[in-house]
């Protein structure tokens, strides 16, 4: 068992506890909501640590593979390449340190960060691993490198194979991949999937998706009731920490009550909202400082981003087959990043058109993260869609993780010039 990996989890848990202590000192409604998220993050780490102590099974996996299945199997899991429990400041520092790896720096920094954890024995070998080989080439090579690592060589690994095209045939194939994944997990963890239990979990997660949809509808309000942070918390809760967990449902209900209150009072994320942004990518690690500047200087609010948006497709729980197909469909067409980058570029066009209209967006920001190469190949398509919609489009070309790739001051300057040129704000 990797000592460094366990220590990493303990260290991160310690930092999360500090964050929780800080939140305890506030009784604001936002702090209350954030506290629940931080508690869920701590609990997620503690469950993994307990497994290492008791030798109980746990797995490495991803949000795109029907995490409701893991809830139903009562199987703790964590993500190698989506380390949500790692505090942003720590990750920011590690993003600089991972340059020392003997791998080209033009490889996505998120992937290099994962390789940094792998090469430094900071990824805890699980009972079994579900490898994600979508939505980008980097994910696949990361898993190959992980499989070759000494302390992971004996970890059984399974990768659901995502079809590139869409349609019934693709769903049949991918649902079958999910079934094989379940059989693989059962074999290597000794846990069994009870279909009735899965149905209950999915029914609960369906409620969560309906609430997510409701929350995002509230974000259509002008002014937008919350800034960049809360939308991502919803994703973290629904697809990472609490899929099918009634506590997550209760949190969403509390969030909606809080948001409704804000909308009724016309209370926005900023005092005077002047620009509504659609940030079409994941949030950068340096978002806090940057978004604060956007809000303060320009009254600009990130109303929607890649991870906050979701098509909220519910899973039909009538039969075992419909549940597997529904989870496969969600994993293939809906979950953020996979939705956009896995297949043909059609979702980019559809999402921009829908979000711009639904959320009264003033401009679309295309960060063009250095690692998102499939996305980078859609820049012309996205620009044209925006041109047709008559919406200003800002292409950046940044690293969402390494803040030194493009100096934050330079990014701010680009925004200022763009807003001024487009007469926004």
Partner 1 sequence: MTTKSKPKALQEFSEAAKAIVNPAVQDWMDRGGRVVGYFCSYVPEEIITAAGILPFRMRATGSTGTELSDAFFSSTNCSFVRHCMNMGLKGDFSFLDGLICINSCDHVRRIYDNWRRKINTPFLHMISFPRKTGERQVEWLRGELTLFKEALEKYLGFEITDERLWEAIRLHNETRRLQRQLYDLRKRENPPITGAETLATMVASTAMPKLRYNQLLRELLQEVSGLLGHCDHSARLMIVGGMLDDPGYLEVIESQGGLVVTDSLCFGSRVCWADVEEQVGDPMAALAQYHIIDRPACPRMYGEQPRRAAFIRNMIREFKVDGVIGERIVFCDYWSGEHFLLDKQLKAEGIPFLRLDREYQLSGIGQLRTRVQAFLESVEGGKQ
Q: Which of 9, 38, 64, 108 binds partner 1 (CB under 8 A)?
A: 108
Task: Say whether residue 389 binds partner 1 (CB under 8 A).
Answer: no
- To which H or E segment does residue 195 belong? helix 195-218
Based on CB atoms, which residue is closest to partner 1, 56 or 381? 381
Task: For the CB of residue 377, give the shortest distance to partner 1 in the complex, in Å.
Answer: 3
Based on CB atoms, which residue is closest to partner 1, 49 or 147? 147
Place of tokens 């609990």: 43
Q: Are the beta carbons of 267 and 341 closer than 8 angstroms? A: no
Q: Are the beta carbons of 368 and 411 closer than 8 angstroms? A: no
Based on CB atoms, which residue is closest to partner 1, 307 or 348? 348
Residue 40's nearest CA partner among 174, 236, 195, 173 is 236
Task: For the CB of residue 141, give the shortest distance to partner 1 in the complex, in Å.
Answer: 3
Q: Fill in the per-residue mask, 278 to 297: x = in contact with partner 1 (CB under 8 A), - = not in contact.
A: --------------------
Q: Which of 27, 53, 154, 380 binds partner 1 (CB under 8 A)?
A: 380
**304 DSSP 8-state letter:** E
Determine if the peptide bond prior to 135 is cis (ω within 30°). yes
Two structure tokens written together for 333: 């067409």
Task: For the CB of residue 384, give the shortest distance to partner 1 in the complex, in Å.
Answer: 8
CB atoms within 10 A of CB 117: 22
Q: Fill in the per-residue mask, 304 to 343: x = in contact with partner 1 (CB under 8 A), - = not in contact.
A: -------------------------------------x-x
Q: Which of 48, 81, 107, 356 binds partner 1 (CB under 8 A)?
A: 107
Q: Fill in the per-residue mask, 114 to 153: x = in contact with partner 1 (CB under 8 A), - = not in contact.
A: -----------------x-xx-xxx-xxxxxx-xx-----
Residues with Cβ within 8 Å of residue 35, at least 6 apart in sequence: 20, 23, 24
Q: Which of 84, 90, 91, 103 binds partner 1 (CB under 8 A)?
A: 103
Binders of partner 1 in range 147-166 (CB under 8 A): 147-148, 157, 159, 161-165
Q: Which of 11, 21, 24, 106 binds partner 1 (CB under 8 A)?
A: 106
Q: Give the count of residues interacting with partner 1 (CB under 8 A).
A: 52
Give dist(CA 394, CA 371) in Å, integer: 18
Task: Say whether residue 344 binds partner 1 (CB under 8 A).
Answer: yes
Based on CB atoms, which residue is closest to partner 1, 138 or 242? 138
Q: Are strands 128-130 and 157-158 parallel, antiparallel or unpaired?
A: parallel
Q: Give 41-79 as a DSSP string.
A: HHHHHHHHHHHHHHT---EE--TTS-HHHHHHTT--EE-
Task: For the CB of residue 335, give the shortest distance to partner 1 in the complex, in Å.
Answer: 18
Task: Say whether residue 404 binds partner 1 (CB under 8 A).
Answer: no
Task: For the CB of residue 106, give the shortest distance to partner 1 in the complex, in Å.
Answer: 6
Q: How many CA atoms lie within 13 A of 270 on its CB side?
A: 21
Task: For the CB of residue 2, give the shortest distance to partner 1 in the complex, in Å.
Answer: 19
CB atoms within 10 A of CB 296: 11
Based on CB atoms, which residue is closest to partner 1, 53 or 164? 164
- Give the Å distances, CA to CA, from 167 to 163, 164, 174: 10, 10, 11
Q: Are the beta carbons of 67 and 239 closer than 8 angstroms? A: yes
Task: For the CB of residue 173, give the shortest distance to partner 1 in the complex, in Å.
Answer: 6
Give dist(CA 280, CA 289) in Å, integer: 19
Q: Are the beta carbons of 224 and 272 closer than 8 angstroms? A: no
Binders of partner 1 in range 345-374 (CB under 8 A): 345, 368, 370-371, 373-374
Footprint of partner 1 (CB under 8 A):
102-104, 106-108, 111, 131, 133-134, 136-138, 140-145, 147-148, 157, 159, 161-165, 169-170, 173, 176-177, 180, 341, 343-345, 368, 370-371, 373-374, 376-381, 383, 395, 397
């Amino acid at each position: 068992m990797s000592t460094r990996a366990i220590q990493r989890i303990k260290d991160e848990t310690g930092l999360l506890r500090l964050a929780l202590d800080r939140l305890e000192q506030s009784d604001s409604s936002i702090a209350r909501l954030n506290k629940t998220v931080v508690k869920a993050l701590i609990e997620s780490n503690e469950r993994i640590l307990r497994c290492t102590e008791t030798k109980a099974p746990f797995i490495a996996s991803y949000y795109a593979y029907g995490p409701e299945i893991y809830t139903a199997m009562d199987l703790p899991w964590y993500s190698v390449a989506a380390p949500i429990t790692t505090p942003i400041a720590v990750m920011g520092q590690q993003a600089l340190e991972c340059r020392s790896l003997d791998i080209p720096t033009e490889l996505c920094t998120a992937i290099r960060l994962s390789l940094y954890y792998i090469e430094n024995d900071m990824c805890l070998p699980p009972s079994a691993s579900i490898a994600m080989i979508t939505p980008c080439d980097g994910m696949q090579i990361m898993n190959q490198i992980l499989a070759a690592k000494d302390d992971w060589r004996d970890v059984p690994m399974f990768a659901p194979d995502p079809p590139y095209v869409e349609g019934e045939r693709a769903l049949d194939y991918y649902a079958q991949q999910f079934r094989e994944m379940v059989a693989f997990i059962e074999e290597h963890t000794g846990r069994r999937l009870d279909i009735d239990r899965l149905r209950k979990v999915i029914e609960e997660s369906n409620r969560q998706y309906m609430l997510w949809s409701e929350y995002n509808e509230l974000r259509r309000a002008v002014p937008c009731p919350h800034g960049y942070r809360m939308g991502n918390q919803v994703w973290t809760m629904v697809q990472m920490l609490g899929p099918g967990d009634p506590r997550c449902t209760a949190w969403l209900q509390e969030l909606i009550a809080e948001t409704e209150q804000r909308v009724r009072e016309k209370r926005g994320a900023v005092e005077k909202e002047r620009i509504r942004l659609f940030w079409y990518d994941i949030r950068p690690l340096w978002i806090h400082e940057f978004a604060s500047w956007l809000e303060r200087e320009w009254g600009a609010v990130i109303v929607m981003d890649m991870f906050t948006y979701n098509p909220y497709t519910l899973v039909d729980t009538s039969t075992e087959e419909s549940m597997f197909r529904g989870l496969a469909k969600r994993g293939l067409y809906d979950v953020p990043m996979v939705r956009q980058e896995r297949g043909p570029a059609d979702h980019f066009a559809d999402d921009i058109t829908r979000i711009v209209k639904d959320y009264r967006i003033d401009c679309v920001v295309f960060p063009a993260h250095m690692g998102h190469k499939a996305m980078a190949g859609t820049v012309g398509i996205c620009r044209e869609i925006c041109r047709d919609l008559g919406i200003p489009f800002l292409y950046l070309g940044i690293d969402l993780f390494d803040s030194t790739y493009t100096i934050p001051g330079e990014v701010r300057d680009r925004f200022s010039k763009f807003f001024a040129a487009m007469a926004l704000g």
